[in-house]
Amino acid sequence: MTRRTTIWKAHSGHETLAGMTRSFRGKSMSEALLRAKAALGEGLYVVGTHRYTPILSFLNRDGESEWYEVEAVADAAWQEHQSRLKVEPTESALGRDDLKIVHRVVSELENRGDDPLKLWNVPSALLAPYQFLLHSGVSEDYAERIVRHAAACRHARDLQDDASAWQAVLEAVADGIPTIGPAQIDPDSKRVIMVVGPTGAGKTTSLAKLAAHLQLTDSGSVGLVSCDMFRIAAVEQLDTYARIMNMPFAAADTAQTVADAVATMEADIILIDTPGRGPLDADHLGALAELADVISPDETHLVLPLESARRWARLTSEKFAVMRPDRLIVTKTDETDRHGGFIDMVAELKLLISYVSTGQHVPQDFFAADPDRIAALIMG
C-alpha cells in the first residue's frame, strides 16, 4: 500500500483531460518532470503533481522512502482541449498561480537539458552508453539501473573519459546477465535434457546445435529423441542430424514411449525435442506437462527468440511453467541489430541463460552462455 499526497492540482474544469493526461514518476519531482518533458516535448502542460509514500517498507522501490508523480498533457492535446471548450489558454483558464507553476516547471526542465544523468548524480560520460542501451532495446528502467550500477562500481574520477565509461557500462551489463554452465555428466547415470518452447522459436535447430556442441566438447555420448510428431519435417530433420553426427535417434509419440526410448538408449546425455506450442494452447501444454512428469528431466530449457515482445515472453514463460523450465536458450539473435532485449528478457523471466544461438549454421552459430560475451553482443 502507498499513501498518495496531492502536492498541486490544476483548477476545476480539467476533468475532460483524463483521456489525454499521462503520468510520469521519478525518485524526485525534478526527475518526474524530466521524464514528462522527454515524452511530451517542450510545450507540456502540468495538470497535477503528487507524492507517494509507501506504508509498508517492503514495497519501497530500490530502498526509496517515497517517489513523485507528475500528470501532464502535450501541447497539441491541450490546444485541442481548449478549442473544444472554446476557451483561450489564458490566465483565466488556468489561473494565475497555475501558470506560474507551469512556467517554472518548463523553465527548470529547459535549464536541465536532456541529460537525465544529472538527476541521478552520475558522471556525464555515461550519457552516451545510456542512450546506446535505450537504442538497443533496453527499457528505461533497466538502462537506468545499469548506469547507476556502473557508477557505483567505479570512482567518479575514473569515469571522466569515454573509454572508461563504456567499459564500466559493459562490465555492469555483464554483471546483470545470469548464466549457467553446460551439463555436468555423471558417469553412473544418464542425463536427460528436454527442450520446450513456442512454435517457431527454433527448438529443433537449437537441440541439434546443442548435440553437436556437447559432442565437440567431449561432454559424453549424446542421443536424440523427438516427440514432435505433429511436424514430420522436424522428426526427419533431427534424424538426419543424428545420422550425420553418428548419434542414436528415436521418435516417440507418447510420454510412455519417450520414457522407454530414454531407458533403452545407450548415451550419457539424452536430448528430447518437444512439439512447439503456443502459450494459449492449454490442451497441448497439458500433454507436455504430463511428459515432463513422466520423464523428470534433469534440465528443461525454454527456447525463446530474442525479439519476443516483453509481454509475449512473460506470457510464454508463465504458460510453460507447468514444465518447470530452469534454463533459457535465446535464439535468432542474428535477426536483429538491437540486442538489448537480453536485459529485459532475463529480468522478466528470471531464468538462467544456458546457450545463445546466433544463426542457422550447426554447430558454429551456438555458444554456451557467457556474461562477458553476451554483454559484448548487447553493446555492439
Any idea of the CA torsion for 255, 257, 258, 259, to the nearest 10 degrees? 90
Give pLDDT, residue 315: 79
Assigned domain for 186 exists: no
Do 236 and 300 lie in a common domain? yes
- In the block, cell 527442450 appears at 195
In terms of pLDDT, which residue wins out, 356 or 229? 356
Give pLDDT, residue 56: 36
Do 100 and 121 lie in a common domain? no
Do 154 and 296 lie in a common domain? no
Cα gap 305→201, rounded to integer Å: 6
pTM for this entry: 0.69
Assigned domain for 258 exists: yes
Question: Which structural domain, as residue segments, surrounds residue 168?
Answer: 117-175
Assigned domain for 183 exists: no
For residues 323 and 349, is the Cβ–Cβ distance under 8 A?
A: no
Query: Last residue of some domain: 85, 114, 143?
Result: 114
Kindly indicate the confidence band of residue 276, based on its pLDDT and cuts at 50, 70 and 90.
confident
> Mean pLDDT highest for which of 53-57, 83-87, 199-203, 274-278?
199-203
Query: Left, alpha or beta for 24 (phi > 0: left; psi -120 to 50: alpha)?
Result: beta
Cα gap 206→187, rounded to integer Å: 25
Residue 354 has pLDDT above 90, yes or no: yes
Report the CATH number that the domain containing residue 201 is assigned in CATH: 3.40.50.300
Do 351 and 309 lie in a common domain? yes
Do 98 and 122 lie in a common domain? no
C-alpha cell at 89: 489558454
Do 6 and 121 lie in a common domain? no
Average pLDDT, the chain: 79
For residues 159 and 165, is the Cβ–Cβ distance under 8 A?
A: yes
Interval 101-126: pLDDT, tens: 555 555 554 454 456 666 677 888 88
Assigned domain for 184 exists: no
Cα gap 127→166, rounded to integer Å: 10
Give pLDDT, residue 6: 43
Do 4 and 92 lie in a common domain? yes
Do 105 and 123 lie in a common domain? no
In terms of pLDDT, which residue wins out, 346 or 355? 355
The one-character DSSP state at 65 is: S
For residues 77 and 20, is the Cβ–Cβ distance under 8 A?
A: yes
Cβ neighbourhood burial of 82 (10 Å; 0-12, 13-18, 19+)? middle
Question: Mean pLDDT over residues 205-227, rounded?
Answer: 90
Residue 340 has pLDDT above 70, yes or no: yes
Percent of the chain's residues with pLDDT above 90: 32
Kindly indicate the confidence band of residue 93, based on its pLDDT and cuts at 50, 70 and 90.
very low
Please give the angle made by the CA atoms of 112, 115 and 120, to the nearest 5 degrees. Answer: 95
Do 215 and 351 lie in a common domain? yes
Peptide bond into 363 cis (omega under 30): yes
The one-character DSSP state at 179 is: B
Do 105 and 129 lie in a common domain? no
Interval 236-254: pLDDT, tens: 889 999 999 999 999 998 8
Instruction: Tell which residue, 45, 27, 51, has the closest CA to residue 36.
Output: 45
Do 223 and 314 lie in a common domain? yes
Do 158 and 212 lie in a common domain? no
> Alpha helix locations (H) across 48-126?
75-85, 91-94, 96-112, 117-120
Kindly indicate the confidence band of residue 207, based on its pLDDT and cuts at 50, 70 and 90.
very high
Interval 130-188: pLDDT, tens: 999 999 999 888 898 899 899 888 776 678 788 889 999 999 999 999 999 887 777 77
Per the structure, how many domains does the chain have?
Answer: 3
- In the block, cell 488556468 appears at 94
Assigned domain for 155 exists: yes
Assigned domain for 231 exists: yes
Assigned domain for 289 exists: yes
Assigned domain for 198 exists: yes
Cα gap 234→218, rounded to integer Å: 26
Give pLDDT, residue 8: 44
